[in-house]
Amino acid sequence: MAILIPLVFLFSYFFIRKVWFQLRKIRTVGTIERIELGYIRPNLILPEVKVYYKYYFQSGLYFGSGYLNLSDFLPNQEFHVHMGLGENPILYTADSEIITEEHIEHYLLSKGGSVFLYLDPIEPYHSRIDSVNLNSITVPSDLL
């Protein structure tokens, strides 16, 4: 019994701390800088990509990285990825065949160029990717 009471206090402290940190998270938008495919050599491509992003918060520019599935960039679309000749990745979608990692990165960036992030306002350099923003973020121009 003497050990049980300190353990209850310890677990309640960690639970309250976790809830407090989750409640103070802010959801914001970050722009994708680069997308990198995941490989298991010699010839396997992972179904997830590493996303490098940047975001502005208060008066600073912050950078981060995280992982997303390929299916997050291509919702409601069937695709197939494999290694071709010369260790070049090939992405097959319903309407196209995309060869080389640079072209696949450009294709995925055209589908979703930004991500939704959760960040801590006390430590804004700690961020976590929530999802891909598939809507285009554009500013209308009156110059044309």
Sequence-ordered alpha helix ranges (H) in the chain = 4-23, 70-73, 101-111
**What pTM was estimated for this model as a whole?**
0.78
Asked if the structure places residue 12 within a domain, the reply is: no
Does some domain include residue 71? yes
pLDDT at 139: 64
The answer to whether position 68 is within a domain reads yes
Instruction: List the chain pLDDT tens, one digit each, 144 residues.
Output: 778 888 888 888 888 877 777 778 888 999 999 999 988 878 888 889 999 999 998 888 999 999 999 999 998 889 999 888 888 899 999 888 999 899 999 999 988 889 999 988 888 888 889 999 888 666 666 655
- Does 122 map to a domain? yes
Closest to 26 in 3D by CA, of 124, 113, 115, 136: 124
Q: Is residue 1 part of a domain?
A: no
Q: What is the pLDDT of residue 20?
A: 76
Whether 42 maps to a domain, the answer reads yes
Range of the domain at 62: 26-133
Predicted pLDDT of residue 138: 66
- Which residues make beta-bridge pairs with 45? 39
Name the token pair of 111: 């589908």
Number of structural domains the chain divides into? 1
Given this model, what pLDDT does residue 10 score? 87
